[in-house]
Amino acid sequence: MTDIEFDQNHYISFSHFLEKACGIVLGDNKQYLVRSRLTPIIKQFKCVSINVFIDSVVKGNLQHKTAAVEAMTTNETLWFRDDYPFRLLENSILNQFSNKKTAMRVWSAACSSGQEAYSIAMTTLNFKKQRPNAFCAGVEIVGTDISQEMIQRCRIAEYDQLAISRGLPKQFKSDFFEPGNNGNLRIKSQVRALANFRSINLLDSYSSLGKFDIIFCRNVLIYFSHEVKRQILQKIAACLQDDGILFLGASESISGLTDKFVMVRCNPGLYYIKKPI
């Protein structure tokens, strides 16, 4: 790639493309971020410059579009992120659903490499260890993300030592992991069996996913505009059961976006309950 200037017009057309494709709002002056995220794929596709690559994305080259969205998503995640959602699950929320006549269904929307979905699965198995009769009708955890690469990683369920070291308690490591390839650890099959993964763009329809008892939609709304957040929260409400539960990220809120939920403050943390229609 030659070091041709990344001009403002190309930055603006890339920003428009990205917001339309996946909701991510770049705002002003993020040229450095776009440049650093796109440089490896521009090299991979042997494009002569960032402007030429962006022209191709904007004209609709599917391979380039997909790679650009993959590159611009932030996949930061860890096990038991923020701790309190999993404590609340274990100490009160799971109990509420443990005698259901149908399977308890949980959705980890924007699940990245799977740590959130598998943390929910491990919490549920731990809960069931104390109460063997709980969840007789089963548990289904659905993890979704826009990134095909992340979904592939979720399905493989192998994590390197750095990923393992981020938030995973020792007991969970010894109970629920086994040796994998190249020094990695793999999630055991009893945990994997609770979860399935597929690629879903939160801007699209989720009606094919069915209804859920609990939804985790954490650390993704922060990237979107007010209007996109509002639309996503409407669609999330539509696929939650009445009295279903929603967890957002620690810095996210529904304030000014929807009146479909009631906030429940806990100490620490909070969650939302869908108002019955």
Ligand X SMILES: C[S@@+](CC[C@H](N)C(=O)[O-])C[C@H]1O[C@@H](n2cnc3c(N)ncnc32)[C@H](O)[C@@H]1O
Q: Which of residues 3-32 bind ligand X (CB under 6 A)?
A: 22-24
Q: Which of residues 61-120 bind ligand X (CB under 6 A)?
A: 73-77, 81, 110-112, 116
Instruction: Give, in degrees to the nearest 5, the angle at Cα 97 between 96 and 99.
Output: 105
Compute the least distance from the CB of residue 206 to ligand X, in Å: 10
Per-residue mark of binding to ligand X, 197-226 (x: CB under 6 A): ----xxx--------------xxx------
| Burial call 55-64: b when 16+ CB within 10 Å, e when fewer | bbbbeeeeeb
**CA-atom Rg of the chain in angstroms:** 20
Residues 50/11, Cβ–Cβ less than 8 Å = no
Compute the least distance from the CB of residue 17 to ligand X, in Å: 13
Q: Does 145 bind ligand X (CB under 6 A)?
A: yes
Reference 212, options 120, 84, 112, 114; nearest CA is 120
Q: Which of residues 43-62 bind ligand X (CB under 6 A)?
A: none
Compute the least distance from the CB of residue 145 to ligand X, in Å: 5
Residues 158/118, Cβ–Cβ less than 8 Å = no
Closest to ligand X by CB, 40 vs 138, is 40
Structure tokens at 218: 């954490």
User: Using a CB cutoff of 8 Å and minimum separation of 24, what contacts does 200-206 make?
Assistant: 200/109, 200/144, 200/145, 200/146, 201/22, 201/146, 202/23, 202/109, 202/110, 202/146, 202/232, 203/22, 203/23, 203/228, 203/231, 203/232, 205/235, 206/235, 206/236, 206/239
Residues 185/164, Cβ–Cβ less than 8 Å = yes
Closest to ligand X by CB, 15 vs 112, is 112
Compute the least distance from the CB of residue 219 to ligand X, in Å: 4
The region of 56-64, 176-184, 195-203, 269-277 touching ligand X under the rule CB under 6 A is 195-203
Q: Does 238 bind ligand X (CB under 6 A)?
A: no
Q: Which position has the token pair 């998503």? A: 73
| Amino acid sitting at position 66 | T
Closest to ligand X by CB, 203 vs 273, is 203
Compute the least distance from the CB of residue 72 to ligand X, in Å: 9
The region of 38-46, 48-56, 140-148, 207-215 touching ligand X under the rule CB under 6 A is 140-148
For ligand X, the binding residue among 15, 123, 124, 147 (CB under 6 A) is 147
Q: Does 123 bind ligand X (CB under 6 A)?
A: no
H or E element in which residue 135 lies: none
Closest to ligand X by CB, 74 vs 171, is 74
Q: Which residues bind ligand X (CB under 6 A)?
A: 22-24, 73-77, 81, 110-112, 116, 145-147, 150, 201-203, 218-220, 249
